[in-house]
Structure 1
Amino acid sequence: MDIATLLHWLQQAATERPAAQCIIRFRSGSYYRRFLYRLSKAASASGLSDVYRPLPIIRGICCRLPNDVELGTATGPIWIEKDCKISVSPSLKKYASFENGVQWGVKQIKAPQAWSITTGHRIKIGVIDTGIDFGHPDLQHSLLRGINLLNRSKLPHDDNGHGTHIAGTIAAVGGIHGMTGVAPRSLIAPVKAFDRNGSAYVSDIILGIDWCVRNGMNIINMSFGMKTRSKALLSAVNNAYNSGVIIIASSGNDGKLRSVDYPARYPQTISVGATNRQRKVASFSNRGAYIDIYAPGDKIPSAWLRGQYNEMSGTSMATSHVSGAVALLLSLYPGLSPGEIKAIMKRSMQPLKNSKTRRNVGELDISRMLQAAKQR
């Protein structure tokens, strides 16, 4: 397929409705650069600048194409796939009375025992989510500016609550009147890719991953998932992994034995399932061969909008515990690769209680994790 045909499709989609939102990836960097040059010239001449967004981490663009263009196939030097919707992992939510201090999940994974030697100091965590409550008193000392991918002229303010909850478990510093997260001296960069309904496109996630890599994030927290496999998302995850970024993803809340959401199913991520206070797999959590580690995810209190607190359940909450734990580990051993971190975690897990899952899977235990890292 030549560049002229692609440009014709874009012009056609700009004037016709309906049109399908798609991701186009290019096999070679030179062909991609040549296409972007031709596209930028055509856009300035014909008003196409609003109908596409570059996705440099995957050598691609997000755009609209006519509905009759065949998707999901490779055509010469390019691949075209549908830009699918993706959601923050649906979580069970309940407003609850809040007790100050260290929450039960943070205690269960033994984070407080590690704070005398590591608090995650200066480790940067990109939380690709719904944004954050910048006014929350427990988070004000833990925040970087981040980015709002839905409106780049605005701060990534949270209009849903999910992202604030995730950030609280990772890095809250509330003192005697608030809560303390797993890695209280780590830094959260909120990457707002999801709208107030907790919905985003795959292209938004790819842009978020790209921003995290370019801005030196050590960890990316992905508390979201979808059922369909996206080669474009896999390409972005793989490029981040090869750049040394640790990606931690929620497995999903379908309670299924052999089903894990994407991107957690990709081997380049650390896939997280959820446990309860009894160290058992939570009933809602996906489980099975694709899970790398379990962490507390049932009835987790954390930060919420307008400076409040909220209790939520889901593998999203488990994922934030693991992100905090990796921050503690990286602060002590900054040279560890994503593969080494996953191996250390899997080697040091606490066996699950009364579990029918396979024996080589267990719950996060930070004391054992740090010991395993020391002995490696």
Structure 2
Amino acid sequence: MGRIIKGYDFVNNDNDPADDDGHGTHVAGTVGGNGAGGTTTGVAPNVSLLIAKVCNSGGWCFNSDIVDAIQWSVENGADIISMSLGDTARSNTIHLAINNAINMEVVVIAAAGNDGPNPGTINYPGGEKNVIAAGAVDGSDVIAYFSSRGPITVDGEVLTKPDVSAPGINIISLYYLSNGYTIKSGTSMATPHVSGAAALLLQAARQLGTTLSPAQIKSILENTSVDKGLAGKDNNYGAGRIDVFAAIESLVPPPLGFINGTVMDSVDKTGIAEVMISTNTSISTMTDATGFYSFALTPGTYNLTATFLPTYYTNRTIMVSPVINAEVVQDIELLKKPTGNISGTITI
């Protein structure tokens, strides 16, 4: 992949996190494989990777190694920690390490587990409240029979988990013993899809000159997912199958058109200050000292009404249709109400 910037083997305590199982290579390819010399790419093919090996050749992992790897990832500037692993038992030390990472603005994503289809089978650390737990779906967006289901009770709070789902059945990715590919299934395969989506969100936000917190990443992925199963977030699919395009698109401000003009006296053509300009939406504005007003609106048709009571009659509603990146000038004339003196006697 060519973009591994640093690695460490916490199993053998050396700087060579060589894969002797195949699991890590497969998930890394799903996150960031760039397709060089092959036929497929990962979700975020330009991502840079930190590799932390915490499981042995048999797939067993010590909690202490996981904790050390989380801390190492934070210290080395990770934006996202992707954890394609899990256990039915909760580790308090892993819990604390994850909370520390999230408090340092690191997004943590973990597999929901492969203990489905019964409810209450979510694995840790995916079960932690602030971790994004990934369930697995097939190519038809059907939840995998093995994908762990919620709910899960954590610190006295019943949580709906997983949080989102992603492809996790028959996933083609890198093979650790050659330059070719292999196929694997599991929520471990769904997890890097979600991690890649999070990486693309962070990149898009930076290009737009902003940042996203772990909570915002979680919210965006949930709110833009394709809802599956029961309406809303449920304990099978979570909020639904992730939609990377919709997630990125949600960051982009809607295209705007512009309406501006001057509200003036219909006789002497002088601008009128503090006129309320309202639309057929909740959007309104006031004219400035010269009578000038301006709106930035999404394309559509708007009814403009200028009101300055009791001095002027309210104008007839004017229909205006702004177009993207274009300016529509709409001046408005108001007719002043006639004034005069009234004299007389009031008899009671």
TM range, smaller chain: 0.5 to 0.7
For 2:119 and 2:11, the matched residues in 1 are separated by: 35
TM-score by length of 1: 0.60
Query: 2:100 matched to which residue of 1?
Result: 239
Query: 2:140 matched to which residue of 1?
Result: 278
Q: 2:89 aligns with which of 210, 215, 228?
A: 228
Which has the higher mean CA deviation after the structures are superposed, 202-211 or 148-157?
A: 148-157
Query: 2:182 matched to which residue of 1?
Result: 310
Query: 2:266 matched to which residue of 1?
Result: none
For 1:305 and 1:216, the matched residues in 2 are separated by: 26
1:184 aligns with 2:55: no
Which has the higher mean CA deviation after the structures are superposed, 157-166 or 169-178?
A: 169-178
Q: 2:121 aligns with which of 259, 264, 279?
A: 259
Q: 2:244 aligns with which of 356, 366, 376?
A: 366
Does structure 1 retain, via aligned residues, the 8 Å contact 2:8–2:14?
A: no
For 1:159 and 1:241, the matched residues in 2 are separated by: 30
Does structure 2 retain, via aligned residues, the 8 Å contact 1:145–1:155?
A: no
Query: 1:51 matched to which residue of 2?
Result: none
Secondary structure in structure 2 of the residue aligned to 1:189: strand
Query: 2:149 matched to which residue of 1?
Result: 287
For 1:205 and 1:221, the matched residues in 2 are separated by: 12
Query: 2:197 matched to which residue of 1?
Result: 325
Query: 1:9 matched to which residue of 2?
Result: none
Query: 1:299 matched to which residue of 2?
Result: 170
1:347 aligns with 2:209: no
RMSD across aligned C-alpha pairs, in angstroms? 1.5
Secondary structure in structure 1 of the residue aligned to 2:28: helix
- Kindly provide the amino acid, as one letter, of the partner of residue 262 in structure 1: Y
- Kindly provide the amino acid, as one letter, of the partner of residue 359 in structure 1: G
The offset of 1:358, in angstroms, is 4.8
The offset of 1:261, in angstroms, is 0.2
Does structure 2 retain, via aligned residues, the 8 Å contact 1:142–1:184?
A: no
Does structure 2 retain, via aligned residues, the 8 Å contact 1:258–1:290?
A: no
The offset of 1:185, in angstroms, is 0.3
Secondary structure in structure 2 of the residue aligned to 1:238: helix
Secondary structure in structure 2 of the residue aligned to 1:258: coil
Does structure 2 retain, via aligned residues, the 8 Å contact 1:294–1:318?
A: yes
Q: Which runs of 4+ in 1 moved over 4 A?
A: none
Secondary structure in structure 2 of the residue aligned to 1:332: helix
The offset of 1:253, in angstroms, is 0.7
The offset of 1:294, in angstroms, is 0.4
Does structure 2 retain, via aligned residues, the 8 Å contact 1:142–1:173?
A: no
Secondary structure in structure 2 of the residue aligned to 1:370: helix
Does structure 2 retain, via aligned residues, the 8 Å contact 1:149–1:208?
A: yes
Query: 2:257 matched to which residue of 1?
Result: none
Does structure 2 retain, via aligned residues, the 8 Å contact 1:347–1:372?
A: no
The offset of 1:280, in angstroms, is 1.1
Q: Answer with 1 or 2: which has the greater Rg.
A: 2
Query: 1:146 matched to which residue of 2?
Result: 7
Does structure 1 retain, via aligned residues, the 8 Å contact 2:172–2:184?
A: yes
Q: What is the number of residues matched between the two proteins?
A: 234
For 2:55 and 2:91, the matched residues in 1 are separated by: 18
Secondary structure in structure 1 of the residue aligned to 2:133: strand
The structure with the largest helix share of the pair is 1
The offset of 1:176, in angstroms, is 6.0
The offset of 1:375, in angstroms, is 5.0
Secondary structure in structure 1 of the residue aligned to 2:89: coil
Residues 326-351 of structure 1, C-alpha deviation per residue, up to 9 Å, x if partnerless? 11110111410000111111111112
Structure 1 residues without counterparts, runs of 5 or longer: 1-138
Does structure 1 retain, via aligned residues, the 8 Å contact 2:84–2:187?
A: yes
TM-score by length of 2: 0.65
The offset of 1:359, in angstroms, is 2.5
The offset of 1:227, in angstroms, is 0.8
